[in-house]
Amino acid sequence: MALEPFKESTPLTMGVELELQLVSFSDYDLTASSPDLLHLLAQKPFPGHVTPEITESMIEINSDVHTRHSELLAQLHEVRDTLVQAGEKLNIGICGGGTHPFQKWVDRRIFEKPRFKEVSSLYGYLAKQFTVFGQHVHIGTGNGDNALFLLHSLSRYLPHFIALSASSPFVQGGDTLFNSARLNSVFAFPMSGRAPFTLSWDEFANGYFAKMEHTGVIKSMKDFYWDLRPKPEYGTIELRVCDTPLTVERAAALASYLQALCAYLLDRKEEAPAEDDYLVYNYNRFQACRFGLDGTVVHPKTYESLSLREDILTTLRRMDPYAEKLGGSAALNHLMQVTHMGSDAQYLRDQFAASGSVEGIVDAAVQRFRGRR
Amino acid sequence: MPDFLVISADLAWPLAVLLAWLAGEFIHRYTRLPRISVYGLVGFVCAQAFPDLFATEAGSPVAVMANVAFGLILFELGYRVNLNWLRVNPWVAVSGLAESFATFGIVYLIASLWGMDTMPSLLLASLAMSTSPAGVLRVINEQRSSGQATERLLHLVALNCVLAVLTFKVIVGFWVFNTSGSLTQAISLSAIELVSSALLGAVCGMLVPAVLRRLGNLAREGTLAFALVVVILVAITHAYDLSPVLATLAFGLTARHRRVAFTRTQRNFGAIGELLMILLFVFAVSTLDWNNVVNGGMLAFVLLIARFAVKTAGVAAFSQLSGIPWRKGVATGMALAPMSVFVVLLLEQTKNSGVVFIDELAAVAAMTVFMEVLGPIITQRSLIWARETTKEE
């Protein structure tokens, strides 16, 4: 079956998906409660969409399509409040964070859905280890060629999103020394990493995709776990490197930052993307995951070493006029604060130091998601 | 030459525990039945085959160890209960109160109609309200079960235990007053005992987390510290005729809500906890007399069915209101089946105070034996039916 045509979309519209953790208030471990929570949420209208994820300790929520930061944030607030209320009724804590700090993958249960069962039988324990929590951001691109142009142009900015959203320093009860350990779990999948370099949708769909489909390795775009992937059925590109932040405010801010960056890139003021940009891609990605805002990245065109924090600040300033036009200035201000105050990963490490336990981290994350800290 | 019988008596308990463990492992491997059902069966068979070897005095080391094992379970239960949930979603508490008191009513009614005297009927009814945390918690941990049925089950078990102990002690107080005429003795056997036990546990629940907090390195110290304090609590309650059930449960509850830091205890208190648990389940049925089981068998059968139906209906009735589907409500109610270990230890402890009921309550012996084996199996099947257990993928 050939790849479906790229749907026409309004450029620079945005939508957000958040994978969230379901935590037991008994012991702060993950709880296999998504069927119960989804049952309860189905009783009333939900301000967005909520769907199950691969293991029963996760859910995914999706926003509608928005053009402005304030609208997106308002909806995410509504979604959060509805979730928190339902969670309280069932004694379930709900929180962000890219990983649960001490859950054991072996205790996870795969959600009863054919696709999840298929993934589980193909990937074995990797499927349960995929109990990690990310934020995906969709940006409308207008057409397929624009999508591929944006996708490859954004590769240079990917470390920004990793560092700003990083919230997964702990795995299996220990500090990994990474700010985003979640992305290491994604890397284990054979179809992860970066998309092949082409700027033409025709070439991508009829060349690369058709060949891959012929090999029998993939059936649809869903089988690719790329950091950035085109989503022809929505007419968007999807950024997948962000950890789920601890607050919906940060989630909305990250989406608006990506929106402003896309607006800027579509102005074609930067040198066009090239295959060689990917020479430093994995290194930069590693730096952002490992050191977060304190990382050092290499500019793909000039090979100059840059402080990631400085690079983000410079870019945020350059995005100001675009954000203003799109109504996203507050979002950029929020992210500016993050570069000064530290990321969620830093916050979680502080909580560990203050409470002395990994359970204390989860409690803090649950409270923070509610907007109480 | 050493006396063969003396050696046998010394060896009897360790051998029974070993046999129970082996049987539990083998039968669980081939049938997936809960191990604890097998422990109870082995205990009952051993005690009937060699009644002299397994006769235990109140306060014997085996009885004390069984109480410690039960104390650990009650602490673990209390430590997992979130009282705030019962405030946010009061329907969970309402369903617990409804099924407990409806069980009390129906059991009292049936026992009276069967021709039992008022006092034994009341005692029987109060014991039937209870659900044994030992059976339930062991099955939950063994099945690695999680979800709403599991979560509610834990909270309902705690509620049932507290209600059953309170009701039982009040009735015992009346019994003592009726037979001795001494109000002081009656009050000291009920009200004072209940309040002091709960207070003792609560004080420990405040002190231990505070001390742990000062020690630091909580993940490692938590389990050991809590276990040690449970042992001490059981010893104190034994020495002063207080209720170990209330003390250890209150300890767990307070420790959970007063914790300055959030530490988990190891499930089942690790390998030593497992060992004590086998002993507990073997011990529980070894105290029962086969004649009582036979005499009370028919009534027990009727009562068990009534208790099972009322508890299931009581929880299921409030399932939709409390936010879960019918199926999960029914499963939760069914999973409340176990009651044996709780009942035995409550009666044993009352025996310490010089009040002996077990002969009047022949039906209790029969109920205990049935439920020691069947209870955990019903809980296990209910949790599987509620789709809350871990399956092999």
For A280-327, the pLDDT digits (tens) are: 999 999 999 999 999 999 999 999 999 999 999 999 999 999 999 999
In residues, how long is chain A?
A: 373
Across the interface, whether the CB atoms of B89 and A31 are under 8 A apart is answered: no
pLDDT at B301 over 70: yes
Q: Does A6 reside within a domain?
A: no
Across the interface, whether the CB atoms of B151 and A24 are under 8 A apart is answered: yes
Count Cβ atoms below 10 Å from residue A294 Cβ, excluding itself: 16
Q: Does A84 reside within a domain?
A: yes
The least confident of A351-365, B5-19, B274-288, B348-362 is: B348-362
Q: Does B391 reside within a domain?
A: no
| B216, B324, B391 member nearest A356 (Cβ) | B216
Give A232-275 pLDDT, tens digit per residue.
Answer: 999 999 999 999 999 999 999 999 999 999 999 999 989 999 99
- How far apart CA A127 and CA B363 sit, in angstroms, is 51
- Please give the share of chain B, as a percent, with pLDDT higher than 70: 89
Residues in chain A closer than 8 A to B217 (CB atoms):
356
Report chain B's mean pLDDT, rounded to a whole number.
84
Shortest distance, CA A239 to any CA of chain B (angstroms): 31
Give B195-252 pLDDT, tens digit per residue.
Answer: 999 999 999 998 888 887 777 655 556 778 888 999 999 999 888 888 888 899 999 9
Q: Does B293 reside within a domain?
A: yes
For residue B334, the domain's CATH number is 1.20.1530.20
Across the interface, whether the CB atoms of A39 and B82 are under 8 A apart is answered: no
Residues in chain B closer than 8 A to A103 (CB atoms):
none
Radius of gyration of chain A, Cα coordinates, nearest whole angstrom: 20
Amino acid identity, residue A208?
A: Y
> What average pLDDT does this structure show over A182-203?
91
Across the interface, whether the CB atoms of B328 and A107 are under 8 A apart is answered: no
Interface of A with B in 64-123 (CB under 8 A): 86, 88-91, 107, 109-110, 112, 120-121
Interface of B with A in 260-279 (CB under 8 A): 261-264
User: Which candidate in B137, B146, B326 is best for mutational testing of the A interface (most A CBs within 10 A)?
Assistant: B146
| A32, A355, A358 member nearest B147 (Cβ) | A32
Place of tokens 């036009």: A325
A355 touches chain B (CB under 8 A): yes
Helix (H, G, I), strand (E, B) or coil at A154: helix
Give B357-386 pLDDT, tens digit per residue.
Answer: 666 677 777 888 888 889 999 999 999 999
Across the interface, whether the CB atoms of B147 and A36 are under 8 A apart is answered: yes
Q: Does A80 reside within a domain?
A: yes
Q: Does A4 reside within a domain?
A: no
- A23 neighbors A94 (Cβ within 8 angstroms): yes
Alpha-carbon dihedral angle through residues A251, A253, A255, A259, given to the nearest 10 degrees: 180
pLDDT at A56 over 80: yes
For residue A324, the domain's CATH number is 3.30.590.20
CB pairs under 8 A between A and B: 84
Across the interface, whether the CB atoms of A35 and B216 are under 8 A apart is answered: no
- How far apart CA A235 and CA A257 sit, in angstroms, is 19
pTM, two decimals, is: 0.88
Q: Does A2 reside within a domain?
A: no
Per-residue pLDDT band for B393 (boundaries 50, 70, 90) equals: very low
Across the interface, whether the CB atoms of B85 and A25 are under 8 A apart is answered: yes
Alpha-carbon dihedral angle through residues A339, A345, A349, A352, given to the nearest 10 degrees: 140
Task: Find the domain containing B320 and state its range.
Answer: 2-385
Task: Find the domain containing A250 and state its range.
Answer: 13-370
| B88, B148, B219 member nearest A36 (Cβ) | B148
pLDDT at B262 over 60: no
Q: Does A260 reside within a domain?
A: yes
Helix (H, G, I), strand (E, B) or coil at A49: strand
Packing angle between helix B218-239 and helix B244-258, nearest 10 degrees? 150
- How far apart CA A92 and CA A34 sit, in angstroms, is 10
Helix (H, G, I), strand (E, B) or coil at B260: coil
Q: Does B304 reside within a domain?
A: yes
Give me the helices (H) in chain A, please: 34-41, 69-89, 114-123, 125-129, 144-153, 158-165, 182-187, 201-202, 210-215, 248-266, 281-291, 308-326, 329-341, 344-355, 358-369
Number of domains into which chain A is organized: 1
pLDDT at B2 over 70: no
> What average pLDDT does this structure show over A146-165?
97
Q: Which residues of B329-367 are buried (b: 16+ CB within 10 A; e: fewer)?
A: bbbbbbbbbbbbbbbbbbbbbbbeeeeebbeebbbbbbb
What's the confidence (pLDDT) of residue A285? 96
Report chain A's mean pLDDT, rounded to a whole number.
93
What's the confidence (pLDDT) of residue B261? 47
Host H or E run for residue B304 = helix B290-317
Per-residue tokens: B93? 């508490």
Number of domains into which chain B is organized: 1
pLDDT at B52 over 50: yes
Residues in chain A closer than 8 A to B328 (CB atoms):
36
β pairing state of A225-226 and A192-193: parallel
What's the confidence (pLDDT) of residue B266? 62
Across the interface, whether the CB atoms of A40 and B323 are under 8 A apart is answered: yes
Across the interface, whether the CB atoms of B264 and A90 are under 8 A apart is answered: no
Amino acid identity, residue B358?
A: I
